[in-house]
């Protein structure tokens, strides 16, 4: 399949849906909504909502009725990037080749823009969908698993552990747990949401959960590699920040070559987990390979 064409088609679909569902900068809160939209529409691959939609398709389910829910994942991801870039966190000046949110709107407004994107995501996830077979119990399960993925035992907890670990020697087990929370949990939740929307049975849900965890691991390992080997032009942000902040990474534990092998192993494991899915799951297989070969 032509993954490039598939990703572009889905990216446009997500972008158009975000335009429909996102608030417009009007009235007294126009400046605040501008700050939300600035980062939300600053570019990006839209991988998390695309994964949700692709899983639906792998289960022979039309994902279009669920675009609003998929957009919630992009709002959550964008909020996390805004907060990651803050002076109190990674203190980055660039994101996707543009000034970071706090550089444009100020630190306080950037914090509030992130807060609003996170909260608005749950508005998108919780609004009832009528006439498409999504039961309230299923929607509640989606909201619950997303909340777990991004809370104290997920993305936020992972970020806290990451900050606490700067400048300290940590074990590889701690690093692996940190990555599974900070990066892997939201990716896995996007996959699991697609599985629920596609009415996966228990075996399919377990296989897709394994897929989500494996590609989440691969994504973070490749991020670590790009921070060592990538260029600012490709990444749209500064490189070498992990070393400057004295962060533990896969390359710092294993070196570049072994780290690259570990990323490949994670991708191979993700693809293997889909052995019982037909060609409708080919986009998921190709997405796993894309994560390994990406340059930004």
For residue range 53-70, list pLDDT tens digits in order. 999 999 999 999 999 999
Which of 81, 252, 266 lies closest to 159, judged by CA?
A: 81
The answer to whether the beta carbons of residues 185 and 158 sit under 8 Å apart is yes
* Spatial distance between the Cα atoms of 44 and 96, rounded to a whole number of angstroms: 7
- Predicted confidence at residue 26, as pLDDT, reads 94
Pairwise pLDDT comparison (241 vs 269), residue with the higher score: 269
Q: For the chain, how many structural domains are there in total?
A: 1
Q: What is the pLDDT of residue 166?
A: 85
| C-alpha radius of gyration, the chain, whole number | 18
What integer is the mean pLDDT of 231-252? 64
Q: Which domain holds residue 60?
A: 3-293
Neighbours of 206 (CB within 10 A): 13
pLDDT at 247: 78
CATH number of residue 51's parent domain: 1.10.600.10
Question: Cα 262 from chain centroid?
Answer: 20
Region 73-102: mean pLDDT is 95
In whole angstroms, what is the distance from residue 284 CA to residue 211 CA? 9
Poorest-pLDDT segment among 7-16, 18-27, 222-231: 222-231
Half-sphere exposure of 94 (CA within 13 A, CB side): 13
Give the three-class secondary structure for 97: coil
Q: Where are the alpha helices (DSSP H) in 180-281?
A: 185-197, 202-229, 232-235, 241-244, 250-272
Position 237 scores a pLDDT of 46
Question: 230 falls in which pLDDT band (50, 70, 90)?
Answer: low
The closest alpha carbon to 185, from 223, 154, 221, belongs to 154
pTM for this one? 0.93
Contact status, residue 185 vs residue 147, Cβ threshold 8 Å: no
- Averaged pLDDT, 30-36: 98
Pairwise CA distance, residues 66 & 151, whole Å: 23
Q: What token pair was written down for 13?
A: 């679909």
- Please provide the average confidence, as pLDDT, over all residues in the chain: 92
Three-state secondary structure string covering 10-64: HHHHHHHHHHHHCCCCCHHHHHHHHHHHHHHCCCCCCHHHHHHHHHHHHCCCCCH
């Amino acid at each position: 399949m032509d993954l490039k064409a598939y990703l572009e088609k889905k990216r446009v679909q997500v972008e158009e849906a975000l335009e429909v569902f996102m608030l417009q900068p009007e009235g007294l809160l126009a400046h605040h909504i501008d700050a939300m939209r600035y980062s939300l529409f600053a570019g990006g691959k839209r991988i998390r909502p695309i994964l949700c939609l692709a899983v639906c398709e792998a289960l022979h389910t039309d994902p279009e009725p669920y675009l609003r829910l998929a957009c919630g994942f992009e709002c959550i991801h964008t909020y996390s990037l805004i907060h990651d870039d803050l002076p109190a966190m990674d203190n980055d000046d660039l994101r996707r080749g543009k000034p970071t949110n706090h550089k444009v709107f100020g630190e306080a407004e950037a914090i509030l823009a992130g807060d609003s994107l996170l909260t608005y995501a749950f508005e998108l996830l919780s609004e009832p969908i009528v006439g498409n077979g999504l039961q309230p119990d299923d929607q509640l399960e989606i909201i619950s698993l997303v909340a777990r993925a991004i809370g104290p035992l997920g993305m936020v907890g992972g970020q806290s552990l990451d900050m606490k670990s700067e400048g300290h020697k940590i074990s590889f087990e701690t690093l692996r747990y940190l990555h599974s929370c900070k990066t892997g949990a939201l990716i896995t939740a996007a996959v699991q949401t697609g599985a629920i929307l596609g009415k996966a049975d228990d075996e399919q849900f377990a296989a897709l959960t394994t897929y989500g965890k494996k590609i989440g691991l691969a994504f973070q390992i490749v991020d670590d590699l790009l921070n060592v080997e990538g260029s600012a032009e490709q990444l749209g942000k500064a490189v070498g920040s992990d070393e400057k902040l004295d962060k533990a990474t896969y390359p710092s534990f294993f070196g570049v070559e072994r780290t690259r092998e570990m990323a490949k192993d994670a991708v191979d494991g993700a693809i293997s987990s889909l052995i019982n899915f037909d060609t409708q799951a080919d986009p998921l297989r190709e997405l796993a390979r894309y994560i390994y070969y990406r340059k930004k």
